[in-house]
Structure 1
């Protein structure tokens, strides 16, 4: 069946695996995607949504690079929201509510149209290594498939164990078996493994809910979209979500089941996601709160199934039902299935290089929850980068790495391989020190040309980006070069309670005022005429406004990034022996010997390494 050797084999068909397979195949590598169930490709195992705080920026970056997540998010969206619009543009984050079934279907169909990509349904039970190099995989059916590179994207399936109250059983997801064999092979090779936990809430029958008792949460009045390509369109119709609250009574009912909770009776020892805790964890940790928000989210356009966001739990099913029935609007609730927790194997990501290739085995890559992350978006971007670098390695081309000032993807990977993680890692805007540069609106400016040079982003994608960039730069120049008379601008300034001007001046200076928006200036004929004559799209208008109003902040962050690059340019020899630097602290020597950072900049970000330790390193290196 598999007489030929593949360039790349991707193990797992979730969000990481799907992006990895698409990237490797689109870059010309003969790729095989092996997954335990081909009907569940890109399954939304948890909430039916893409994007959100910082996550939306990642989806935009994946799209700018030529990945599929942004396109599929658009084609399967049922609601769009731009979060944090009351804050600065660095915080704006797009999010869509998705049709769960359509999302998986669209992903499957896009992958089937991808050249160089084959599919096979089976469980990979082990990896084959010769010397220190990957040579193939073995499956539960006894097949051996040869390859030059392997990307493991096993999600929650590696020795997955599902918990509901006092019951536990093997599984990688509700209704699906766990994957076995791979962890043993990796540990035997010398990899360090650990266990993590995540959870999911009950799914309920929407016909049994009383939405009149809840607060409606509609989408944006003028919805945008994720993909920069014109092949997708913004939503015309949208479905609303709803919000309700728990109560003291609900909390008391939940506490009645704590003695049977696997979280509190010791049966779950692994650490769950800090920023997406279970409901029992929330009422235990925040005992002073008498209520918590619940978001009631439709699973699609036509289905009656709803997702109860905020009620993730592993309590016994009778306790879940009793407590949820006491929530306003849920008095007559019918369950589709109870919530559950799942424990699974992961591998501390400090064992990886910046390309996501393992340090121990050449040609073996890890992406997604196997690296200790949580979230579809975090998984997808890792899959994209692993797919790119696996293809580059097979083609004997230079590796591709994104820096912290170039993408949230770069921040995520650098955090993982440099600092590691002992709890499921989730991306936030606060993790990015250059977030003013890493906005959702300019991911195409930052990344599309890089991806095009790799052979991943298409010519069409590059053209769309260049047209947008040219148009926005020209509009910024228009404001810098065009003067406005006092009699023309003062009525606008007076209406906005902004200081009036006494003589003509460049419009850029007026536009830069914090309380003056582009919509205010469109009453000036020259501005409106320019927009109409050049047929400027909303994305160009948004980009122009950001470039004018935040020019100072952007320039400051660019200067800070340039300083960082000076340390990034100081390379550290591979397998450098830090133990000989006796002036460095013991902790720093131990950590740096383990992580083996590639640059002084990366070394400075290792937990436990002080500025004094970096000074010692710089002196040793003649700096």
Structure 2
């Protein structure tokens, strides 16, 4: 069959006129790609009342984990808990299918504590697929989308004076088998499949992850619509036979004795996780590893020019580590199980695109792996993705109404980043069809807000990875209080059911009541001095507030229990909130003051029809970038590279001079695109959440 579609941007009627084409049905929302972003997007849209179609190229790879068999980690664990707090699915499935759970960064403060789970990848796939299959209003279909269908529509928000072309509205998709689906919204969640090719040494194959078929055709649709397409690269390590490993010479890494779940549904449940956790192990590279790499750099596709895509800065391949860090003597490699029903082990930290013979030499140079049998070779993968600055903060494309992007197609990396974007894209696609404003979390509310804001405002020259350092307000955006921050928003949206809501309200009330009790309680020296001595803390000479004692670094809420006989029996999750709220009260107040300043700038909205070229005083670079990115607020404008504080001052002066004009747009389209109805900027969530 000929793979040409005629018009590069066909309408629904033009697609039906193609040879062998047929009308396959109509849906409110079509999600293209059934990975982590696609599953969350489809579930959210369906749960919000939309008839939803989820297309996957291979239904045996729904929610596939082609790279590391883990969920969470530094900053990523925060994302998973936020997804769960808002009513998403990733955390619940991960809790049911984990092999091991650990809280990372325990030696540091609560702001950077991050849960991470080793996952049984096959059971996770099966578990997520079952959730999708059982969801009302959600249809799962194996098919390859090859072309977007659109219809032209004028774009009042992008005036011709700024050089904007006519806008399109998405109308559906065409599949490889000539099925024509009509849709009111389409969410692209194509992962690393767009025009993908895998690279192992000199061998280049047109393929997606795990040897699956690549996606062909959609990139041409995106380009024809004028959307900017980039080329990125990522990679994965070898998988080895666990029976051929000498674990005795490796360091063992056990799970936590009292693990913290991802899902707030499982907080303080005595029957969770209900499994015997599986250990991981750690080994190191050696001088022989370096020798194997350095001697074969000429065969590395990363340095020979074969690989053209931009790779992830914070997850370099093993050969890239030796080139970028030549003075580092050795590198950690973690040996991780991939499932209970397989001997396959994953070597985290040893991704590579070297030829297979070099890979074998590299791996067998590490302690414990001298006689290892390789089961799957490592490879690099190149793929197309969108420049995310072509998206609104709602994740809808700026020039194609009803077309959304989620996950790695937006330039991000990682399962967690993908799932977070999928959740928000699904929510916003559904709300747009219901004539409701989008939900846009800001940087002071959630890591999800930081992630999306970074992508759509700053863009990314490489696969974007979430890190705690990217979050300015991370002391308030902790993993432990994600529900207190976001569950009220999830409830308002419609993704949090009555059972969870009542559980949340009970917890929030317990936290608030206990904080008030602790702040009011005073203790006498006779009750606390002996206890303070055991904690190596200075004694007190008179009555002292329990809150003041708790602010001492060496004193914990649990340690003060003997001096507090009236203390109620509270769940661990509540006790954690109380200690943090009291111990870090001063720092939290400083953070809240900073957030108030941030929100004032975020709430200073910019009209959608500004002609930046006509504003005198703006530098040329600022004019060009502001005109292209169309920030919704002065706060967003300030985060654009190339827009200086002086440029912001010019904008503020211009806004003050045009104050009468502002009244018309503050409650209009710009306000809706900003999503302030449920963004929490003075909204319902602040009234409902606990005071943390």
Q: Larger deviation: 159-168 or 582-591?
A: 582-591
How far 1:503 moved relative to its partner?
1.5
Match in the other structure for 1:382: 421
Distance in 2 of aligned mates of 1:469 and 1:85? 25
Match in the other structure for 1:115: 136
Distance in 1 of aligned mates of 2:535 and 2:544? 18
Contact in 2 for aligned 1:257/1:316 (Cα 8 Å): no
Q: Secondary structure at the match of 1:418?
A: helix
Question: Does residue 1:277 correspond to 2:316, yes or no?
Answer: yes
Match in the other structure for 1:93: 114
Distance in 1 of aligned mates of 2:526 and 2:634? 57
What is the CA RMSD across the aligned residues, in angstroms? Answer: 1.2
Question: Does residue 1:74 correspond to 2:95, yes or no?
Answer: yes
Match in the other structure for 1:589: 623
Q: Deviations over 1:570-603 (max 9, x none)?
A: 1111142211123111111111111100000000
- Report 1:7-406 matches (<5 A): 7-131=28-152, 132-230=168-266, 233-406=272-445
Contact in 2 for aligned 1:588/1:609 (Cα 8 Å): yes
Question: Does residue 1:554 correspond to 2:591, yes or no?
Answer: no
Distance in 2 of aligned mates of 1:53 and 1:576? 40
Unpaired stretches in structure 1, ≥5 consecutive residues: none
Contact in 2 for aligned 1:298/1:304 (Cα 8 Å): yes
Question: Does residue 1:466 correspond to 2:487, yes or no?
Answer: no
Q: Deviations over 1:302-357 (max 9, x none)?
A: 31000000110000001000121111101111111100000000110000000000
Contact in 1 for aligned 2:52/2:137 (Cα 8 Å): yes
Contact in 1 for aligned 2:96/2:273 (Cα 8 Å): no
Q: Secondary structure at the match of 2:362?
A: helix
Q: Secondary structure at the match of 1:90?
A: helix
How far 1:399 moved relative to its partner?
1.1
Question: Does residue 1:531 correspond to 2:565, yes or no?
Answer: no
Q: Secondary structure at the match of 2:232?
A: strand
Distance in 1 of aligned mates of 2:607 and 2:500? 38
Q: Secondary structure at the match of 1:201?
A: strand
Contact in 2 for aligned 1:223/1:235 (Cα 8 Å): no
Match in the other structure for 1:428: 467
Q: Larger deviation: 400-409 or 465-474?
A: 465-474
Q: Secondary structure at the match of 2:228?
A: coil
Q: Secondary structure at the match of 1:326?
A: coil
Distance in 2 of aligned mates of 1:372 and 1:587? 24
Question: Does residue 1:509 correspond to 2:548, yes or no?
Answer: yes
Match of 1:568 among 602, 611, 619: 602
Q: Secondary structure at the match of 1:310?
A: strand
Distance in 2 of aligned mates of 1:350 and 1:280? 31
Unpaired stretches in structure 2, ≥5 consecutive residues: 1-21, 153-167, 658-692
Contact in 2 for aligned 1:575/1:596 (Cα 8 Å): no
Distance 1:202 1:575, change over 3 A: farther
Q: Secondary structure at the match of 2:265?
A: coil
Match in the other structure for 1:545: 579
Q: Deviations over 1:480-531 (max 9, x none)?
A: 12221111111122222322111223211111222111121012252xx523
Question: Does residue 1:416 correspond to 2:452, yes or no?
Answer: no
Contact in 2 for aligned 1:37/1:122 (Cα 8 Å): yes
How far 1:2 moved relative to its partner?
5.8
Match in the other structure for 1:600: 634
Q: Larger deviation: 307-316 or 562-571?
A: 562-571
How far 1:372 moved relative to its partner?
0.6
Contact in 2 for aligned 1:259/1:265 (Cα 8 Å): yes
Contact in 1 for aligned 2:25/2:180 (Cα 8 Å): no
Distance in 2 of aligned mates of 1:393 and 1:233? 38
Q: Larger deviation: 455-464 or 606-615?
A: 455-464
Q: Larger deviation: 496-505 or 107-116?
A: 496-505
How far 1:456 moved relative to its partner?
1.3
Contact in 2 for aligned 1:62/1:381 (Cα 8 Å): yes
Q: Deviations over 1:347-374 (max 9, x none)?
A: 1000000000001100000011111100
Distance in 2 of aligned mates of 1:25 and 1:167? 42
Distance in 2 of aligned mates of 1:406 and 1:463? 22
Distance in 2 of aligned mates of 1:516 and 1:169? 59
Match in the other structure for 2:517: 478
How far 1:256 moved relative to its partner?
2.3
Distance in 2 of aligned mates of 1:396 and 1:5? 19
Contact in 1 for aligned 2:98/2:120 (Cα 8 Å): yes
How far 1:3 moved relative to its partner?
5.3
TM-score by length of 1: 0.98
Q: Secondary structure at the match of 1:202?
A: strand
How far 1:4 moved relative to its partner?
4.0
Contact in 2 for aligned 1:50/1:376 (Cα 8 Å): yes
Contact in 2 for aligned 1:448/1:461 (Cα 8 Å): no
Distance in 2 of aligned mates of 1:104 and 1:587? 47
Pairs aligned (count): 618
Contact in 1 for aligned 2:236/2:351 (Cα 8 Å): yes
How far 1:233 moved relative to its partner?
2.0
